[in-house]
């Protein structure tokens, strides 16, 4: 007997119907069916379908980034290939001695080799790195920070708030646009203050121009207290030796980007930076520099809560080994995107249009993204479509994320891996 308006289909019947088009586990389909019957008994089937669709869309899944933002925070920043055999790793096991080891040993050695640091440790993001350093080295003491560097970045991360949570006390020095060495010296020499550190912060996602002055790490290193540098974006070396043979010169957008090796060479006691931005690795935060200060951070109780898992360290190790081997532009997706010639992008765009039968080739400007090199762009090429097709492209089997300006949809190919061109072709073909 068919269900009446007052007697909806059984939960099992709805769940079985949902399973025809959904790959969700049966228990989740049953839950969607049960909630649909409760919420809308007279329209349970369509309600259950909507609940199922909403759940599927909310799950993490792979997408194609055609936005032209190379490090897109909403899309996971630096793209990573997660592979593995499923076997255990020697995460905290010393193969030489057969005894317990440290999960930090391998990456510490590689980071030290690449940056010139005495030692290094890894935590779960750069905010955690800053928090740990302040808590371990300046709890109940003062830290001098330029007013122009007391910043907020994405997600409401504010230097003053992090400092307060760490137990350190913020001492503002200088002004928003001009801070000199004497401003730090005055704060250190003041009898009211107990300055443990000076903190140099990379502004990351904004730039102050005009009547400005900042104090360099090298200048701060002449003071009587250690300087710690939050360089943010994770550039290892501003000479970019891994680009030799791929680009004629270091990209201009890296000119003013602080780098770990140079900051340490200039006298920074510690540098903190992200692993998933210009480094091109997984989300993590890196602390590198003086061995005694690194050890103090590693011994702090917060370290247990902030340490990364084995998968993160394994991916980071792989990226660091690529830097050591100078194969970054082959192995690391972010740097692959950076060095791709415009001519190659033009050829790919033309071929995608030929196969899909829609769109036109256009010159574009890609953004680095994730607060790195703010305001800088990289010449690119993509595909233009008349109209706003973002929703339809997102609804493809593998979502293609694009952008729309003035009722024209753009797919920037610099941020699309060549092996994903076939997905773009299929998504565009489905629009016709």
Number of domains observed in the structure of the chain: 3
- The domain in which residue 359 lies consists of 64-78+335-431
Q: Angle of helix 11-19 relative to helix 26-39, nearest 10 degrees?
A: 130
Question: Are 69 and 200 found together in one domain?
Answer: no
Question: Are 360 and 374 found together in one domain?
Answer: yes
Question: Are 258 and 362 found together in one domain?
Answer: no
Question: Are 253 and 353 found together in one domain?
Answer: no
**Does residue 94 lie in a domain region?**
no
CATH code, domain with 110: 3.40.640.10
pLDDT value, residue 361: 98
Question: Are 191 and 267 found together in one domain?
Answer: yes
E strands, 336-401, where? 360-369, 372-386, 400-401
CATH code, domain with 377: 3.90.1150.180
SS3 142: strand
**Does residue 278 lie in a domain region?**
yes
Q: What is the pTM of this model?
A: 0.91
**Does residue 133 lie in a domain region?**
yes
Question: Are 299 and 369 found together in one domain?
Answer: no
Read off the pLDDT of residues 113-131 as tens digits, 9 standing for 90 and up: 999 999 999 999 999 999 9
Question: Are 203 and 319 found together in one domain?
Answer: yes
100 torsion bin: left (phi>0), alpha (psi -120 to 50), beta (else) = beta
pLDDT value, residue 6: 61
In a structure prediction context, what are the per-residue pLDDT tens digits for the chain, which is 432 residues long?
Answer: 455 556 778 999 999 999 999 999 999 999 999 999 999 999 999 999 999 999 999 999 999 999 999 999 999 999 987 767 788 999 999 999 999 999 999 999 999 999 999 999 999 999 999 999 999 999 999 999 998 888 776 666 788 888 888 999 999 998 888 889 999 999 999 878 899 999 999 876 666 777 778 899 999 999 999 999 999 889 999 999 999 999 988 898 998 889 999 999 999 999 999 999 999 999 999 999 999 999 999 999 999 999 999 999 999 999 999 999 999 999 999 999 999 999 999 999 999 999 999 999 999 999 999 888 877 899 999 999 999 999 999 999 999 999 999 999 999 999 999 999 999 999 999 998
**Does residue 419 lie in a domain region?**
yes
pLDDT value, residue 1: 41
Question: Are 178 and 212 found together in one domain?
Answer: yes
Q: How many CA atoms lie within 13 A of 283 on its CB side?
A: 13
pLDDT value, residue 159: 83
Regarding beta strands 360-369 and 372-386, do their DSSP bridges make them parallel or antiparallel, or are they unpaired? Answer: antiparallel
**Does residue 4 lie in a domain region?**
no
**Does residue 99 lie in a domain region?**
no
**189 within 8 A of 216, measured Cβ to Cβ:** no
Question: Are 117 and 263 found together in one domain?
Answer: yes
Q: Angle of helix 291-299 relative to helix 126-138, nearest 10 degrees?
A: 100
Share of the chain above pLDDT 90, in %: 81
Q: In angstroms, what CA-CA distances link 346 with 355, 380, 410, 415?
A: 14, 9, 14, 13
pLDDT value, residue 175: 86
Question: Are 355 and 300 found together in one domain?
Answer: no
**214 within 8 A of 148, measured Cβ to Cβ:** yes
Q: Which residue has the tokens 């032209």?
A: 68
Question: Are 129 and 228 found together in one domain?
Answer: yes
Question: Are 236 and 262 found together in one domain?
Answer: yes
Read off the pLDDT of residues 59-70 as tens digits, 9 standing for 90 and up: 999 999 999 999
**Does residue 131 lie in a domain region?**
yes
Angle at Cα 383 formed by Cα 380 and Cα 387, nearest 5°? 130
Rounded distance between C-alpha atoms, residue 218 and residue 204, angstroms:
20
Structure tokens at 306: 């902030």
Rounded distance between C-alpha atoms, residue 242 and residue 250, angstroms:
10
pLDDT value, residue 305: 95
Please give the radius of gyration of the chain, using alpha carbons only, rounded to the nearest integer. 26
**Does residue 100 lie in a domain region?**
no
């Amino acid at each position: 007997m068919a269900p009446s308006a007052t007697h909806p289909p059984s939960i099992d019947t709805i769940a079985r119907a949902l399973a025809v088009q959904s790959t969700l586990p049966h228990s989740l389909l049953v839950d969607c069916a049960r909630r649909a019957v409760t919420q809308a008994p007279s329209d349970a089937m369509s309600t259950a379908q909507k609940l199922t669709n909403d759940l599927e869309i909310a799950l993490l899944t792979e997408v194609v980034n055609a936005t032209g933002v190379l490090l897109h925070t909403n899309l996971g920043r630096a793209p990573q290939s997660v592979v593995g055999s499923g076997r255990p790793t020697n995460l905290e096991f010393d193969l030489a001695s057969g005894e317990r080891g440290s999960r930090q040993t391998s990456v510490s050695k590689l980071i030290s080799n690449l940056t010139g640091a005495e030692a290094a440790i890894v935590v779960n993001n750069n905010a955690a790195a800053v928090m740990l350093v302040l808590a371990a080295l300046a709890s109940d003491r003062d830290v001098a920070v330029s007013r122009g560097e007391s910043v907020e970045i994405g997600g409401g991360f504010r230097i003053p708030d992090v400092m307060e949570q760490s137990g350190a006390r913020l001492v503002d020095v200088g002004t928003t646009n001009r801070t000199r060495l004497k401003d730090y010296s005055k704060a250190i020499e003041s009898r009211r203050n107990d300055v443990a550190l000076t903190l140099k912060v990379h502004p990351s996602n904004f730039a102050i121009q005009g009547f400005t002055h900042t104090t360099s790490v090298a200048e701060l290193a002449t003071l009587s207290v250690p300087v710690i540098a939050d360089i943010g974006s994770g550039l290892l070396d501003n000479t970019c030796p891994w680009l030799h043979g791929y680009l004629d010169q270091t990209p201009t957008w890296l000119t003013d980007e602080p780098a770990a090796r140079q900051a340490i060479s200039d006298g920074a006691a510690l540098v903190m930076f992200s692993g998933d931005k210009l480094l091109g690795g997984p989300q993590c935060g890196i602390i590198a520099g003086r061995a005694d200060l690194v050890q103090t951070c590693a011994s702090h109780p917060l370290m247990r809560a902030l340490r990364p898992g084995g998968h993160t360290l394994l991916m980071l190790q792989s990226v660091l080994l690529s830097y050591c081997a100078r194969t970054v532009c082959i192995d690391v997706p972010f740097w692959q995107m950076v060095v791709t010639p415009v001519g190659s992008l033009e050829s790919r765009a033309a071929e995608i249009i030929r196969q899909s039968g829609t769109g036109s080739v256009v010159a574009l400007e890609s953004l680095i993204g994730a607060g790195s090199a703010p305001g800088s762009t990289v010449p690119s090429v993509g595909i233009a479509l008349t109209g706003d097709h973002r929703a339809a492209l997102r609804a493809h089997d593998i979502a293609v994320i694009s952008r729309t300006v003035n009722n024209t949809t753009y797919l920037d190919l610099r941020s699309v891996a060549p092996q994903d061109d076939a997905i773009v072709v299929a998504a565009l073909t489905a629009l016709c």
